[in-house]
Structure 1
Amino acid sequence: MLGTGMPKIPISRTQVMASPIEKVFEVLRDIHSCPDWSPWLIADPDFKLDVQNDYYSWEGAISGSGRMDLVRDEANESITYDLSFVKPWKSQARIHISLAVKGDATEVTWTLEHSLSFFLFWKKKSIQAYLEVDYDRGFLMLKNLIETGSVPSHLEFLGREPSPSFVGVGIKRSGSMNGFEQDIETSYKEVKDYYPEGQVFSVYYTWDLVRKEVAYFIGVRLDKTPGVIPDGMELINVPGMEVYALRHRGPYSHLSNGWSAGRMHGRAKIFRQSKRFPPFEIYEDENWEEPVVKICLPMK
């Protein structure tokens, strides 16, 4: 039960899933499948899990600990869960998922009310912003699991490694996070038109989830400084440094799983992030639809 008088964070999302309502309900009701689309457990390769018919609990160095309990369900109509976090901080959430037939598909509406401990009230805006990202990630993984039977998002935790210095030429842009995925895809293709053989990378100067603002550079790595820089582009120097690295394989829409995992590893004190240079990502192949991306978090 949610704590009375505690600071509340409401979140609601709706998606149409290309699957019959019976199958959608079956997956949502199956407690054993819940860890497959958890936005937290994907970041923790060594978590411990206890799964029963009406609840599951977890504990891990990265994901913390908590439990999700089935409260009630109505076949092919709705499901309600209680979600309790113990670590890294205590909080509770009531999750209600309602289903409706939408032609040959199913409309899934996910609503929740998250209750925070009183000592976290001053962080409510930032916690809400991160929770919205987490639940969006989980909702997308759920959609993939229901529609295709698997989640095409895979993480490798590479750990500490050296990152050599390099120069890059590309485009620096800023704006709203709304439509960011389309904006960076356009920028990626624009850069590749000029430098089809270059390896693409992105540097993130600003990623403000509360204000929904982003500022980034996307360009290609070069062996040496070019004699001519195309109009509208600029040159940057990326210094050599030690980074904490993760590799994500899968559609770009799931890349936030990697960035969120990096944030969680930092919060768990697996590494200490430096602010001397912004975090960046390197595209290790040429497939924009399902890229292999190395995420690099500068270390102290």
Structure 2
Amino acid sequence: MKIIKYLFFLLLIVVIGGAIYFATQDGSFDVAKTRTINAPAEMIYNNVKDFKNWETWGPWMTQDPDIELSYAEKTEGEGASYSWLSEVVGDGSMRIVKVIPNEEIEQKIVFNSPMGDSESDVYWKFQEGDEPGTTKVTWGMKGEQSFMEKVFMSFQPDNFETMLGDMYSDGLANLDTVVTEAMKAFTINVDGLTQHNGGYYMYNTTSAKQSDIGMKMGAMMGQVMGYMQANNIAMNGMPFTLYNQIDEANGTIIFSACIPIKDRVITPDGSTVVSGLMEPVTALKTTLKGNYTNLPEAYAQAQAYLSKNNLQAHPTAKMFEVYMTDPSEVPNPADYVTEVYIPVLIPEEN
């Protein structure tokens, strides 16, 4: 009996000692991971802000394919929430408490377990990356572990910070893949022959290697727009590029960045921005929905259409592209719309 008594006291000492040990351990945590994604902040924010999108990149989806998700009526914006049931990652819920569009999201996460419920703060930050067009995305969680959580985690092969950090790293990598793939989507439609009415436009002109056109185009359009604003000249349509001369042997192109206007404008001598007139023209119209990097494929399909239908490109009329969307207002390049016009010769009727 004395041995049992001594064992009992020894066990009691171990339990009390363990309780004191775990109770005095610092349970506070703040774990965050950052990844630079080659996409605008608005596009990434638009994906993260809606809980329904998390199914496509959430790291717990691979940990438990059978996880049960339930969504509230509101899934984005302040007050939005969803919950889950899982035998692998546990049960829980999350709600959004604050948003600063394209910059920050703050959330509350609650884990339900036999040891009781625990609540922590989840945060997202979307910051401009070091390279143009990139975004530093930070995903983190901070809070305080309960006594039982500290006990439980002490018996795990990895500590809590490592487990949470790995999960967030995996989630950001998945998000990167989803966003990048979404930006690659594009469609091309050869619409057929159309009559373009032409009209007056303001423009400036330069020559460049074909690979440098996109880099120069933005600055040139900005120069034309700045001139128009300074002189109270209103736009009368969407901006377009006019291809004046293509030197395939040297890979150079002389092109103009143009903005339509209603009436002719006479500019001062020496002005780099001048006014021009496009005559009405019959052209093959092709519509690209997607990033401008897909324009070569749009031209290839247009040329194939010309050959198939025995149509001949006009030898002197100039090809042009009309940009139907403003990239500053459309975050996903997959939603850009560009109309490509190739003027054609119309056979004279006998």
TM-score by length of 1: 0.47
Q: Which has the larger radius of gyration?
A: 2
Higher relative contact order (CA 8 A, sep 6+): 1
Structure with the largest fraction of helix: 2
